[in-house]
Amino acid sequence: MNKPTNISAIIVDDEPNNCQYLKNKLNQNHPNITIIDIAHNALNGVQLITKHNPQLIFLDIKMPGGSGFDMLDAIPNRNFEVIFTTAFDEYAIKAIRFCAFDYLLKPLNDTDLNQAIERVSQKITSAQSNLQEQWETLDLNNNASEKRIGLPSSDQVLFVKTKEIIRCKGDNNYTHVYLIDGSKVLVSRTLKEFEELLSDEGFLRVHQSHLVNKSEVKAYVKTDGGYLLMHDKSQVSISRMRKDTVVKALGFKL
């Protein structure tokens, strides 16, 4: 069995006491789970997920101003696991339709919580291990200065140098990869998977749907809410929550 990897998580629950209780339980029994932030309503939950891009969400259902389901509806590319934590058992079927990993009833039972954490940890760890194996398999220049990855499409696997990738655009469980020769490849992989593969190769997540090669950024345009102008003349939106981080990472001065 793979050793549990470190997992970033967010709690979304309108009751502070419940948030603190869950956080304490995780700190005591599951040190591989790091609670990086807490939201007390659906809107703030969307903002924090966009900002932090966590791997796991502990999500309440009934909250003022919008339910947990409303929050998930507002996130088109859900690249994270969801464990619902709620006092209401009548939403279990709907939670399954939202592809929830688990559904825990309050007050939380230690056994149920521990089992859910162990299973979700195994799933996330296995997925990351597979990504690492994929990277090592597709890296044709192992230990070389120019990394190459394989882009599997319907009829071939195209091997490209990472520096030849201008940007990646997420589309649910698919990613459009734009190359410097003007071509585009549709890959059956999520943008989060590409982010994990390419984050050490000079790529930056600037939006829920956009990952860019920093060396291919030509300018930061301040109008229209701010966007990046790439060397191929494409324009890439920057999410409001990521704006300061992106500007700092690219070395622009506003």
Last residue of a domain, one of 111, 135, 159: 135
Of 16-30, 70-84, 86-100, 213-227, highest mean pLDDT: 16-30
Beta carbons of 47 and 69 less than 8 angstroms apart: no
Does some domain include residue 113? yes
130-142 pLDDT per residue, tens: 655 554 445 544 4
Q: What is the DSSP string of 51-86?
A: HH--SEEEE-S--TTS-HHHHHHT-SS--SEEEEEE
Q: Check pLDDT > 50 for residue 102.
A: yes
At residue 238's C-alpha, the angle toward residues 251 and 189, to 5°, is: 105
Separation between Cα atoms, residue 14 and residue 64, nearest integer Å:
7
- Do 89 and 206 sit in the same domain of this protein? no
- Which whole number is the average pLDDT over 209-230? 92
- Do 113 and 174 sit in the same domain of this protein? no
- Which whole number is the average pLDDT over 77-84? 87
- Do 127 and 13 sit in the same domain of this protein? yes
- Which whole number is the average pLDDT over 213-229? 91
Q: Check pLDDT > 90 for residue 124.
A: no
- Do 130 and 188 sit in the same domain of this protein? no
Does some domain include residue 103? yes
**Model confidence at 146, in pLDDT bands (50, 70, 90)?**
low
Containing structural domain, residue 64:
7-135
**Model confidence at 155, in pLDDT bands (50, 70, 90)?**
low
- Do 159 and 124 sit in the same domain of this protein? no
Does some domain include residue 2? no
Percentage above 90 pLDDT, the chain: 52
The pLDDT, as a whole number, for residue 98 is 79
Q: Which residues pair with 169 in a beta bridge?
A: 176, 210
CATH number at residue 80: 3.40.50.2300
The pLDDT, as a whole number, for residue 148 is 80
- Do 130 and 226 sit in the same domain of this protein? no
Do you find a cis peptide bond into 76, omega within 30 degrees of 0? no
Least confident window among 4-8, 23-27, 125-129: 125-129
Last residue of a domain, one of 100, 135, 170: 135
Beta carbons of 31 and 7 less than 8 angstroms apart: no
Q: Check pLDDT > 50 for residue 239.
A: yes
Q: Check pLDDT > 80 for residue 40.
A: yes
- Do 91 and 154 sit in the same domain of this protein? no
CATH number at residue 163: 2.40.50.1020
**Model confidence at 211, in pLDDT bands (50, 70, 90)?**
very high
Does some domain include residue 231? yes
- Do 17 and 131 sit in the same domain of this protein? yes
The pLDDT, as a whole number, for residue 217 is 95
- Do 12 and 112 sit in the same domain of this protein? yes
- Do 119 and 238 sit in the same domain of this protein? no
Does some domain include residue 221? yes
199 or 104: which leads in pLDDT: 104
Does some domain include residue 178? yes
Does some domain include residue 220? yes
Number of domains in the chain: 2
Q: Check pLDDT > 70 for residue 55.
A: yes
The pLDDT, as a whole number, for residue 94 is 86
Does some domain include residue 141? no
- Do 196 and 100 sit in the same domain of this protein? no
Last residue of a domain, one of 135, 163, 182: 135
Separation between Cα atoms, residue 128 and residue 79, nearest integer Å:
13
- Which whole number is the average pLDDT over 52-80? 90
Question: Distance from CA of residue 47 to its chain's centroid?
Answer: 13
- Do 102 and 166 sit in the same domain of this protein? no
